[in-house]
């Protein structure tokens, strides 16, 4: 997954002299594990709202980066960060009202469940901590994830992220299930078929003497290709893992904070109350802030016996930033905007798919949308998706690709994307498709 639409070193001769020097310097200093996007890598120097700007001043409409969820360099968030950084930044082993104010405001977005929040710096750390808590509470080690899931890069979580590729082995106690594809089935069958896979995985664990710890899913199945519908289909699978003694972990790193439009959290679309919720990327609008929300009884023994501390997780500056993000989402009506502009994008993409056979099914919720790219025989077209992504980059629009075959256009802009900017993207895609 990390190599999808990656710049390849043999393409360096196609770059201008200034970017060649930057790429060579980067390779020398950072080494070979880092990846760059696009056949022609971008040299970005500034961002504002849903746009970023390169070193020569060209603007690009950003429909890829969900990390700056309320917009690049939002002034309210920047001001909150600067103000608190000018007063105090210390870890959580001291009393500080700002951290508690943020925790209170964050937990109020989950009225369905009494909960604690434990802060980390990254979504990877959050999933790692949630896994530790789940294993401690359940006494199990087995985890069920989807076949092309991505949950992070710590050792324990990379082993539960099959999309990392064959070089990174899947944990021996893990079991993989297919994403809840609904195209071949009727929508009402999706939940039952996904739950049947989960039950089969649990049965295989029993056969091998593995006690289950958790079902861990991104509630929009974003790495698998974006599978959001029908709402409610996850409930039966969550019930199945709980019946077997495991927990349901909702990975909200990408679906959370109003992105689905209809709900603040992805799991709410399924009528679920998770045992653990993991948060990350958009939580700090680019500042390193993430966390785990957990039902209180799950962490009692863990808290007493292991305790928890993170030097930078949830510090006063991070808390000020996180609170500012929540304030912007509410004050600017960004959840409603995600619903409104997301519906416009889905309708427009559906119209383009009806005109251009390269585009297949359009899926998603709010401002997270996936679109299949197909070849002349209706099969997944990996190269075609890459061509579209790079052609859009040349048109000044940034998107990504997802799915096991890397043929799903991944559209996840900042929540502030306007209807006019959405139309600009649709016009650019129309132009690119007309030329292809």
Three-class DSSP category at 359? strand
230 upstream amide cis, omega within 30 of 0: yes
Residues ≥6 apart with Cβ < 8 Å to 132: 302, 306
Contact between residue 273 and residue 112 where contact means Cβ atoms under 8 Å apart:
yes
Quickly tell me which residue has 């070849």 as its tokens.
375
Cα separation, 251 vs 145, in Å, equals 11
* Whole-number pLDDT of residue 2: 64
Flag residues of the chain having pLDDT under 50: none
Cα separation, 254 vs 69, in Å, equals 10
**Residues forming CATH 3.90.1150.10 domain(s) in the chain:** 42-70+333-435
* Whole-number pLDDT of residue 9: 76
**Which sign does the torsion angle of CA 131, 260, 282, 4 carry?**
positive
Model pTM greater than 0.85?
A: yes
Ramachandran area for residue 247 (φ above 0: left; ψ -120 to 50: alpha; else beta) = beta
Q: CATH number of 42-70+333-435: 3.40.50.9100, 3.30.70.600, 3.30.450.40, 3.90.1150.10?
A: 3.90.1150.10
Element (H, E) at 80: helix 75-85
Tokens at 165, concatenated: 């590729």
Contact between residue 144 and residue 202 where contact means Cβ atoms under 8 Å apart:
yes
Cα separation, 174 vs 266, in Å, equals 24
Cα separation, 262 vs 365, in Å, equals 8
* Whole-number pLDDT of residue 34: 87
Three-class DSSP category at 272? coil
Task: Give the architecture-level CATH label for domain 75-331.
Answer: 3-Layer(aba) Sandwich (3.40)
* Whole-number pLDDT of residue 187: 76
Residues ≥6 apart with Cβ < 8 Å to 130: 214, 216, 249, 276, 278, 292, 294
**DSSP secondary structure, 23-75, as one string:** HHHHHHHH-TT---BSSS---EEEEEBTEEEETT--EEEESS--SSTT-BT-H
**Residues forming CATH 3.40.640.10 domain(s) in the chain:** 75-331
**DSSP secondary structure, 201-242, as one string:** HHHHHHHTTPPEEEEEEETT-TTTT----STTTTHHHHHHHH
- Count H helices and E strands in the chain, helices first: 12, 15
State pLDDT tens for residues 382-394: 999 999 999 999 9
State pLDDT tens for residues 174-195: 999 999 875 656 777 899 999 9
């Amino acid at each position: 997954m990390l190599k999808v639409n990656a710049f390849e070193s043999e393409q360096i001769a196609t770059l201008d002299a200034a970017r060649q020097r930057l790429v060579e310097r980067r390779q020398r200093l950072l080494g070979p594990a880092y990846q760059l996007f696009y056949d022609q890598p971008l040299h970005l120097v500034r961002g504002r709202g849903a746009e970023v700007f390169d070193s020569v001043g060209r603007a690009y409409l950003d429909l890829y980066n969900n990390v700056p969820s309320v917009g690049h360099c939002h002034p309210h968030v920047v001001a909150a960060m600067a103000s608190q950084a000018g007063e105090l930044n210390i870890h959580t082993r001291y009393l500080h009202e700002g951290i508690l104010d943020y925790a209170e405001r964050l937990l109020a977005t989950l009225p369905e469940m009494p909960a604690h929040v434990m802060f980390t710096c990254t979504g990877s750390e959050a999933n790692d901590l949630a896994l530790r808590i789940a294993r401690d509470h359940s006494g199990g080690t087995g985890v069920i994830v989807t076949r092309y899931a991505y949950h992070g890069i710590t050792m324990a979580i990379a082993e539960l992220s099959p999309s990392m590729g064959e070089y990174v082995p899947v944990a021996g106690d893990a079991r993989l299930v297919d994403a809840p594809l609904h195209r071949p089935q009727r929508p009402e069958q999706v939940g039952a078929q996904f739950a049947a896979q989960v039950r089969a995985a649990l049965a295989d664990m029993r056969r091998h003497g593995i006690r289950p710890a958790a079902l861990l899913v991104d509630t929009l199945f974003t790495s698998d290709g974006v599978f959001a519908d029908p709402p409610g289909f996850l409930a039966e699978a969550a019930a199945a893992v709980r019946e077997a003694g495991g927990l349901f972990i909702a990975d909200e790193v990408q679906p959370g904070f109003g992105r689905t439009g209809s709900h603040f959290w992805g799991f709410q679309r399924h009528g679920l109350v998770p045992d653990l919720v993991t948060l990350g990327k958009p939580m700090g609008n680019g500042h390193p802030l993430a966390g785990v929300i957990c039902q209180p009884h799950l962490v009692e023994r863990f808290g007493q016996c292991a305790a928890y501390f993170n030097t930078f997780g949830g510090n006063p500056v991070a808390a000020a930033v996180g609170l500012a993000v929540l304030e912007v989402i509410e004050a600017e009506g960004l959840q409603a905007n995600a619903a409104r502009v997301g519906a416009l994008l889905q309708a427009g993409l559906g119209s383009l798919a009806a005109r251009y056979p390269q585009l297949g099914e359009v899926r998603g919720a709010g401002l997270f949308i996936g679109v299949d790219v197909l070849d002349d025989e209706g099969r997944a077209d990996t190269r075609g998706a890459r061509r579209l992504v790079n052609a859009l980059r040349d048109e000044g629009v940034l998107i990504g690709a997802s799915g096991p075959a890397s043929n799903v256009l991944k559209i996840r802009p900042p929540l502030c994307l306007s209807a006019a900017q959405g139309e600009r993207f649709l016009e650019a895609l129309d132009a690119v498709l007309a030329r292809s």
